[in-house]
Each structure stands twice: as C-alpha cells, then as structure tokens.
C-alpha cells in the first residue's frame, strides 16, 4: 500500500514538467504519514525527549526547531531507529515501527556531514543503495538519471564525490537518500556546514524537490527562518517538549508562550494587566507606561491577570499615537543600517527598550533623536506572563 504511494509520487518525476503548484497542498488526504505518540527518551536523569505527540501529514514538509540541546536530533534518531525510545510509539502510515530495525524502516536520513563514499563517483554514490538491493542495470541507470536531474547534477555523474563543493556533495547525499524512495525523509541540519548564500540557494532547491517528489520531509534546524521558508508546519521544541505546533504564520502571529514569541523572530515584551475579556479572544489591558489598549491574545486570560504584551519590531512606526494605536515617546539609542531595513533600539522615558525595524525610513534617523512611536492595537498580542497559570 505504502510502497505504491511512494512509487506513484516518484513516478511523476519521469513525466517531469510538473510544477510545485501542480501538487495539491498539504494535507493530501488527511492521513498522517508519521505519528509520534507519547515519545520519550531519557539518559540517566535527563529527559532528552520528554513525551511528545506529533502527527505529520502525507507529503508534508515539517520542521522541528528549537535551541541547542532541546531534543531535535534525539527525536529524529528515534524515528530512524538509531535511538531506542524509553517510552511511546512511532507509526509510519499506520504501521507500528517502534521496535523495527533501522534498515527495515521505510525511512532515510540526510545528516549534516555528507557521509559520501569518497572513492566512488557521484553515480555510484547514488546507485549504492540500489545495487545493495540487486536492482537491474537499466533501472539503476534510469533512477540515478532522474535523481541527477532532480538535484541539478546532470553531467557530473563521473566526478569523484571529493571533487565536488559542499553544496554539491549535500545534493548527492539527498539524491542518494531519495533514490530509495523512502516514505519519509529525515534531515538533520543538512545545510548547517554551508555558507549563508549557498544555504539560501539550497533551501529553495530543497523546497522545490520536496514539493516535486511529494515525500514527507521531517527537517531539523535551529534556524527559524530556514524552517519558515520551506515548511508547511513547524514544531517549536524546548527542553524535550513541544511548545507549539502550527503553520509559520500561526506561530509567528499567535505565539502561545513567551518562549515561542522570543524564538520565532524578534519581539518586544511589555508588562501588562488584563482588565476585561471580550469575545473572540479580544481583551482590554493596561500596558505599563503605555496605557489602556483593546487587543487580541491567547485564550483563557482573565481580568486581573499579570500578562505580557508582545509587539513585533516591524509593527512600530514613527508616528504619534491615535485612538486605535498605542504609543510612547522614545529616544534612539542604537541604529544599524542593514540594507533592506534599518534596525533601531529605542529607549522610552520609563527606561524600557524597544526594537523597531523600518524598511524605508522617510527621513534621516540619528542616535539621540527623540520622537513619538506607535503601533496599532491589533498588532499587539497578549500572553500569560511566564510562570503564570493560563486560567
Ligand atoms: N547519547 C547521549 N547520552 C547522553 N545524553 C545525550 C545523548 N544524546 C543526547 N543527549 C542529551 O539530550 C539532550 C538533547 O540532545 P539532542 O542532540 O537531541 O539536541 P538537539 O536539539 O539536536 O541539539 P543541537 O541543536 O545542538 O543539535 C541534550 O541535553 C543532550 O546532551
Ligand atoms: Mg542536533
């Protein structure tokens, strides 16, 4: 059943001409490709992964992001079968794989280190797994040819892998994994060793390739922007747990915790008190040194609760407050020209710091300049303050 699914999606390659748009968006049929149920792994007293539940859709590009040591690699290695879970269950397309040996899982992994065979050509590196499966020569040539085209390395099949650049080696590693037509491809910081420009180019390629082959990708990175660029959904991990799971837009615009608000993009945090609750998650709140606002927030905040108001730097504009805009008088204490935007650090008269980010400042800005800044009420997002109960 599942073999057929993978073959059908890879078969599309032979026809080519298929564009990423031609592939129905996730979820394709609502059936999860991967289910992690209560998955946990401890090392002594340390819970590297502390009970996570995730469903990844068929043909979804799913990313696990989070700071160093939060348990991303351990999660991936459990799915690959390289680390035994202490508790929980792993299913791929409905089959329980928790105790299945790694080479028997319909799963492949691309690591940060390319791990190619240095003495073999590009062709033989990609063909390696097919030869191990005793596939006929004609089919090997055809499948390797498809992969070379997919990763843009046609004409390089005779090169020794050591004669390739880092980016090219990583594309061979990707081709070598995909040629086996896994149901799920796991990628652990595969672009981590590359410079920024090459990283960006390969992000675009990886995204295209995933949409084209329609195989479920589970991608691990500590780079939020990289994950946002490629993924249908992301899970943000902290200390072995999932803090939040959703689309990039969802986690950026509606972070459920201060940790998530901080991890995905820059954010300004201000202390606030909830005054009243209206319908649809709209609150009346008093923000310290700013005043009364009517703004959206997480569900289940209650009047009197200490809260935290989040404002993204790009929402702040150098214009005076008005009825539906909150604002404050501030002084520029740091200014950096970053090409596509100008980044400012402001200090309010109460001594709080605010980050502001402007794409095209109309007038020249200078350190020391004092002005009024403001942001719309609906660009505010209210959260429970860390350590406060939500209800
Ligand atoms: N084999 C091991 N023995 C003991 N502790 C381990 C082992 N593997 C991982 N850990 C611990 O488990 C935690 C999670 O590690 P993991 O490698 O999964 O993190 P990560 O999110 O991939 O981090 P990074 O971004 O640095 O790669 C860490 O505290 C780590 O020290
Ligand atoms: Mg890791």
Say which CATH number the domain at 358 has.
2.40.50.140
160-169, 247-256, 269-278: least confidently modelled range: 160-169
Q: Could you read off the pLDDT of 201-231 as tens digits, one per residue? A: 899 999 999 999 999 999 999 999 999 999 9
Residues 356-367 as b or e (16 or more Cβ within 10 Å = b): bebeeeeeebee
pLDDT computed for residue 22 by the predictor: 35
Q: Kindly tell me if the per-residue pLDDT of 115 is higher than 90.
A: no
94 lies in some domain: yes
Q: Kindly tell me if the per-residue pLDDT of 15 is higher than 70.
A: no
- Residue 125 CB: number of other CB atoms within 10 A? 27
Cβ of 41 less than 6 Å from ligand 1: no
Nearest CA to ligand 1 atom 10: 48
pLDDT computed for residue 390 by the predictor: 45
Q: Are residues 356 and 224 in the same domain?
A: no
Task: Answer with the one of 230, 253, 276 that is the final residue of a domain.
Answer: 253
Q: Are residues 6 and 80 in the same domain?
A: yes
Q: Are residues 271 and 333 in the same domain?
A: yes
pLDDT computed for residue 18 by the predictor: 34
Ligand 1, pocket-test mutation among 44, 63, 73, most atoms within 8 A of CB? 73
Cβ of 204 less than 6 Å from ligand 1: no
Question: Phi and psi (nearest 5°) for 378?
Answer: -80, 0
Which ligand ends up closest to the CA of 71? 1
CA of 74, closest atom in ligand 1: 18
Q: Please give the mean pLDDT across all residues of the chain.
A: 89
Taking a C-beta distance cutoff of 8 angstroms, is the pair 216, 34 a contact? yes
The rounded distance, in Å, linking the Cα atoms of 77 and 85 is: 9
Q: Are residues 222 and 282 in the same domain?
A: no
227 lies in some domain: yes
Give 112 or 97, the one with higher predicted confidence: 97
Q: Give residue 329's domain range.
A: 266-384
Q: Are residues 97 and 31 in the same domain?
A: yes
Q: Would you place residue 21 in the very low, low, confident or very high pLDDT band (cuts 50, 70, 90)?
A: very low
Joined tokens for residue 234: 């992301």
Cβ of 40 less than 6 Å from ligand 1: no
Q: Would you place residue 30 in the very low, low, confident or very high pLDDT band (cuts 50, 70, 90)?
A: low
3-7, 98-102, 103-107, 376-380: least confidently modelled range: 3-7
Q: Are residues 273 and 229 in the same domain?
A: no
Which ligand ends up closest to the CA of 49? 1
14 lies in some domain: yes
Cβ of 71 less than 6 Å from ligand 1: yes
Nearest CA to ligand 1 atom 26: 68
303 lies in some domain: yes
For tokens 């999606």, name the residue: 9
pLDDT computed for residue 19 by the predictor: 36
Q: Are residues 26 and 101 in the same domain?
A: yes
Cβ of 82 less than 6 Å from ligand 1: no
**How many A from CA of 29 to the centre of ligand 2?**
31
Q: Kindly tell me if the per-residue pLDDT of 9 is higher than 80.
A: no
Average pLDDT of 18-23?
A: 36
Task: Answer with the one of 219, 253, 287 that is the final residue of a domain.
Answer: 253
Q: Kindly tell me if the per-residue pLDDT of 25 is higher than 90.
A: no
Q: Are residues 249 and 326 in the same domain?
A: no
Which ligand ends up closest to the CA of 69? 1
**How many A from CA of 38 to the centre of ligand 2?**
20
Q: What is the CA angle 88-92-95, rounded to 5?
A: 80
Q: Are residues 326 and 210 in the same domain?
A: no
136 lies in some domain: no
Q: What SS3 state is found at 277?
A: strand
Paired residues of 41 in beta bridges: 49
146 lies in some domain: no
Could you give the percent of the chain with pLDDT greater than 90? 71
Task: Answer with the one of 223, 253, 283 that is the final residue of a domain.
Answer: 253
Q: Are residues 356 and 282 in the same domain?
A: yes
Q: Are residues 214 and 299 in the same domain?
A: no
pLDDT computed for residue 23 by the predictor: 38
**How many A from CA of 73 to the centre of ligand 1?**
7
pLDDT computed for residue 29 by the predictor: 59
CA of 71, closest atom in ligand 1: 18
The rounded distance, in Å, linking the Cα atoms of 181 and 6 is: 6
Q: Are residues 358 and 217 in the same domain?
A: no
- CA–chain centroid gap for 188, Å, is 12
Cβ of 69 less than 6 Å from ligand 1: yes
pLDDT computed for residue 299 by the predictor: 92
158 lies in some domain: no
Nearest CA to ligand 1 atom 24: 68
pLDDT computed for residue 349 by the predictor: 87
Q: Kindly tell me if the per-residue pLDDT of 281 is higher than 50.
A: yes
Q: Could you read off the pLDDT of 39-71 as tens digits, one per residue? A: 999 999 999 999 999 999 999 999 999 999 999
DSSP string, 32-47: EEEEEEEEEEEETTEE
pLDDT computed for residue 311 by the predictor: 96
Cβ of 74 less than 6 Å from ligand 1: yes
Average pLDDT of 134-162?
A: 92
Cβ of 45 less than 6 Å from ligand 1: no
Q: Would you place residue 4 in the very low, low, confident or very high pLDDT band (cuts 50, 70, 90)?
A: very low
Domain count, the chain: 2
CATH of the domain at 35: 3.40.50.300
The rounded distance, in Å, linking the Cα atoms of 170 and 158 is: 16
Cβ of 83 less than 6 Å from ligand 1: no
**How many A from CA of 87 to the centre of ligand 1?**
17
**How many A from CA of 86 to the centre of ligand 2?**
19
Cβ of 44 less than 6 Å from ligand 1: no
Joined tokens for residue 304: 């009197």
pLDDT computed for residue 339 by the predictor: 85
Radius of gyration of the chain (CA): 25
Cβ of 43 less than 6 Å from ligand 1: yes
The rounded distance, in Å, linking the Cα atoms of 111 and 9 is: 24
Residue 107's contacts (CB-CB under 8 Å, 6 or more residues apart) are: 79, 80, 81, 92, 97, 182, 183, 184, 185, 186
Give start and end residues of each alpha helix (H) in the chain.
Answer: 2-15, 72-80, 122-132, 137-150, 166-178, 196-213, 224-230, 248-253, 258-263
Q: What separation in angstroms does the CA of 389 have from each of 52, 143, 302, 303?
A: 21, 55, 10, 13
132 lies in some domain: no
Q: Would you place residue 11 in the very low, low, confident or very high pLDDT band (cuts 50, 70, 90)?
A: very low
Taking a C-beta distance cutoff of 8 angstroms, is the pair 250, 236 a contact? no
Q: Could you read off the pLDDT of 284-315 as tens digits, one per residue? A: 999 999 999 999 999 989 999 999 999 999 99
């Amino acid at each position: 059943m599942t073999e057929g699914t993978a073959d059908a999606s890879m078969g599309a390659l032979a026809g080519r001409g298929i564009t990423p748009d031609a592939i129905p968006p996730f979820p394709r049929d609502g059936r999860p490709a991967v289910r992690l149920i209560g998955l946990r792994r401890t090392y002594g007293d340390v819970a590297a992964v502390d009970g996570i539940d995730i469903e990844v859709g068929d043909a979804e590009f799913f990313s696990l992001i989070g700071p160093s040591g939060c348990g991303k690699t351990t999660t991936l290695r459990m799915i690959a079968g390289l680390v035994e879970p202490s508790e929980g269950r792993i299913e791929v397309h409905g089959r329980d794989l928790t105790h299945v040996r790694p080479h028997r899982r319909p799963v492949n992994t691309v690591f940060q280190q390319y791990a190619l065979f240095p003495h073999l050509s590009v062709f033989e590196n990609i063909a390696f797994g097919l030869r191990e499966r005793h596939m006929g020569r004609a089919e090997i040539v055809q499948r390797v040819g498809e992969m070379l085209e997919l990763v843009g390395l046609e004409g390089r099949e005779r090169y020794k892998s050591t004669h390739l650049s880092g980016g090219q080696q990583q594309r061979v590693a990707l081709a070598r994994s995909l040629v086996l037509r896994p149901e799920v491809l796991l990628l652990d910081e595969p672009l981590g060793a590359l410079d920024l420009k090459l990283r960006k180019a390969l992000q675009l390629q990886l995204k295209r390739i995933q949409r084209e082959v329609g195989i479920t990708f589970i991608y691990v990175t500590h780079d939020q922007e990289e994950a946002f660029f490629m993924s249908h959904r992301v899970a943000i991990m902290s200390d072995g747990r999932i803090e939040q799971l959703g689309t990039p837009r969802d986690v950026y615009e509606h972070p459920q915790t201060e940790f998530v608000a901080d991890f995905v993009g820059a954010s300004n945090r201000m202390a606030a008190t909830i005054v009243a609750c209206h319908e649809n998650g709209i609150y009346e709140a008093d923000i310290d040194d700013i005043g009364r606002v009517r703004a959206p927030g997480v569900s289940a905040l209650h009047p009197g609760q200490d809260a935290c108001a989040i404002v993204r730097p790009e929402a702040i504009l150098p214009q005076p407050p008005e009825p539906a805009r909150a604002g404050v008088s501030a002084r520029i204490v740091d200014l950096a020209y970053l090409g596509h935007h100008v980044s400012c650090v402001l200090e309010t008269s109460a001594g709080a710091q605010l980050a502001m980010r402007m794409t095209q400042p109309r007038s020249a800005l200078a350190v020391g300049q004092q002005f009024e800044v403001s942001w719309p009420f609906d660009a505010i997002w209210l959260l429970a303050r860390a350590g406060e109960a939500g209800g």
